Structure 1
C-alpha cells in the first residue's frame, strides 16, 4: 500500500512539473529585438550634403 501511494505521489509530482516547466521556460525567453530601420548615418550624411549645397549656393551668390 505504501508503495502504491509513493508511486502515485511521484507520478503526480512528475505531471505537475511537466505541465509547469515548459511554460516557465517559454516565458523566460525574450523575443528578438527588431532591427533598426535607420542607424542615423544616412540622415547625418543627407544633412551634410544639404549644408554643403547651401554653402556652395551662398558662395556662388556673393562671389
Structure 2
C-alpha cells in the first residue's frame, strides 16, 4: 500500500515538473506580446483537467 502511494506521488510530481520545464523552455523563445495566446491558455486548461482527473481517480480508487 505504501509503495503504491509513493509511486503515485512520484508520477504526479514527474508530470507536474515536466509541464513546468516545458513552459520554461517555451517562454524564452516567445515574444512578450505572444506570451499569452489561445494555445497557451488551452494547454494550461488541459494540464489542470488532467491533474483533476488524476486526483479524482486516485481518490476513488
Does TM-score exceed 0.5, indicating one fold? no
Q: TM-score range by the shorter chain?
A: 0.3 to 0.5
- Greater Rg, structure 1 or structure 2? 1
Q: TM-score, structure 2 length as denominator?
A: 0.43
Structure 1 or 2: more helix by fraction: 2
Greater relative contact order (Cα < 8 A, sep 6+): 2
Q: TM-score, structure 1 length as denominator?
A: 0.42
